[in-house]
Amino acid sequence: MKVNVSDLANNVRSQEQLARFLKALSDDFDRETDRWENGSVDAYLESISAFLESSENFTLPEHGWMQIAHIFLAGKFYE
pTM of the model: 0.81
Are 45 and 74 part of one and the same domain?
yes
48 shares a domain with 31:
no
How far apart are the C-alpha atoms of 18 and 23, rounded to whole Å?
9
Same domain, 45 and 72: yes
When divided into structural domains, the chain yields a total of: 2
* Structural domain boundaries enclosing 53: 40-79
Rounded CA gap, 11 and 5, in Å? 10
Per-residue pLDDT of the chain (79 residues; tens, 9 = 90+): 778 999 999 999 888 999 999 999 999 999 999 999 999 999 999 999 998 888 888 788 888 878 888 888 887 787 7
Question: Same domain for 48 and 24?
Answer: no
Amino acid symbol at 65: W
How far is Cα 34 from Cα 77, in angstroms, rounded to an integer? 27
Task: Please tell me whether residues 62 and 27 are part of one structural domain.
Answer: no
Q: CA nearest 28: which of 6, 47, 13?
A: 6
